[in-house]
Amino acid sequence: MLPSSPDASLDEFAVFGGSPQFLDALHVGRPNVGDRRRFIERIEQMLDNRWFSNGGPFVREFERRVSEVAGARHAIALCNATVGLEIVTRALGLSGEVIVPAFTFVATAHALQWQQITPVFCDIDPRTHLIDPARVESLITPRTTGVLGVHLWGAGCDVDALSEIARRRGLRLLFDASHAFGCTFQGRPIGSFGDAEVFSFHATKFVNSLEGGAIVTNDDELARKIRLMKNFGFESFDAVTYVGTNGKMTEAAAAMGITSIESMDDIIATNRRNHQRYARGLQGVPGIRVLPYDERERLNYQYVVLEVDPVESGLHRDQLQRVLWFERVLARRYFYPGVHRMEPYRSHFPHASLLLPQTERLCSRILSLPTGTAVDEASIDVVCALIRTAIGRAAALSQRLGHPATPLPGPPYDSTSSR
């Protein structure tokens, strides 16, 4: 008998010694491949061209396609999104303090800290999980030079409210759009807002370039400066006119990025079906909320996000994660424990949690489930059955699992950290 059955013995759960439901682990963010044949053709073409880096034809084509999707005049391809954030922060002349949510991947804050800019952590709207503009205003000081919003789960920040604050207070506004390629805010493409936005094309993103990122902007002068900065400051063949670094995207990465964009609509359709199947399969489960998407917008559906209410469900999020991990369902805690609780920030701002109640709450409740083209409908049904059964046996499971903070002793499956 499987633990997905309502009358299963607890011993049949893998966490207590039973056989896992899956032989091969289900990952959050397992890479989508797209048309393998077309990608290999491009790699062969790259090898024939003997042009591997330095703004080759695939990078230029990738930039054009990203620009079209984002609705921005300029797209500058980069080796990754973190370098993109660092370069655009420097190009905009930011200094002092920049306001940013703590509910984000740590690279968002690190990109500021790396430039010796202090990230000032702002709380989020508990409904949307996005930076709360009403709280941004209260954090502005004479040292504040900018606001860095983060579009999460493909949903756009309140761009209009943040833009109004930035204009009125004379601040730069940029966005970490790592989750939001191909999405819209109020019908407008994400990528066209603020001074600039930064996309991630890391392997775990629904559109990936193996590893990569891009800065998009409608500011001609800013784009010119970024292009200099990402290539050592070279204006022409042997003329360096600016201080720069090496942030270039390779031709191989761009070839994969183009191939991914060509498959984008199919991948989105798969993501949407997966999200809908999870939502149906978990409907009515006490204390389990599948974060909905705003169907009025264009979306990429690349995340299936649960909020786990420990009182209503009877299980803490970490206890449910433990059950799933042993079944080889590698659900992820986003963005645990919150950037403000990571170093160096927890040492710099030891009392930050007092100003971040909604961030603190969500960091203990969010669980992201496997999706993408590597997950089929039958697997989703099994995951939903596991969760339903676990919640149905919550009292007995919780007692036997013990304190939710107990570290996972295994299983030793690959769970490489990513955005």
Q: Average pLDDT, stretch 45-64?
A: 97
Asked if residue 44 is part of any domain, the answer here is: yes
Same domain, 272 and 249: no
Q: Are residues 102 and 232 in the same domain?
A: yes
Residue 159 lies in a domain: yes
Q: Are residues 188 and 47 in the same domain?
A: yes
Report yes or no on 353 lying in a domain.
no
Same domain assignment for residues 23 and 93: no
Q: Is residue 3 situated within a structural domain?
A: no
Specify whether 103 is located in the same domain as 220. Answer: yes
Which of the four pLDDT bands, split at 50, 70 and 90, describes residue 96? very high
Structural domain tally of the chain?
2
pLDDT at 419 > cutoff 70: no
- Interacting residues of 401 by C-beta distance below 8 A, sequence separation 6+: 15, 319, 322, 323
pLDDT of residue 98: 98
Of residues 236 and 290, more confidently modeled: 290
Q: Can you give the length of the chain in residues?
A: 419
The whole-number average pLDDT for the span 361-384 is: 97
CA 389, CA 3: separation in Å to the nearest integer? 7
Overall average pLDDT of the 375-388 stretch: 97
Question: What CATH number did the domain enclosing 22 receive?
Answer: 3.90.1150.10
48 and 170 share one domain: yes
Query: Residues 69, 178: one domain?
Result: yes
Nearest to 232 by CA among 55, 419, 365: 55
Q: What is the pLDDT of residue 258?
A: 98
Q: pTM score, two decimals? A: 0.94
> What per-residue confidence (pLDDT) applies to 303?
98
> What's 14's DSSP letter?
G
Q: Quote the pLDDT of residue 417.
A: 44
Confirm whether 219 is domain-assigned.
yes
Domain assignment present for 83? yes
**68/186 same-domain check:** yes
User: The domain containing residue 242 runs over which residues?
Assistant: 36-262
One domain, residues 61 and 79:
yes
Clarify whether residues 224 and 284 are in a common domain.
Answer: no
CA distances 95 to 39, 107, 142, 146, 173, Å, are 41, 17, 11, 8, 13
Query: In this structure, is residue 165 part of a structural domain?
Result: yes
Q: What is the CATH number of the domain that holds 205?
A: 3.40.640.10
Cα angle, residue 407 at apex, residues 406 and 408 outer, rounded to 5°: 120
| pLDDT digit string, tens, across residues 386-411 | 999 999 999 999 999 988 876 655 54
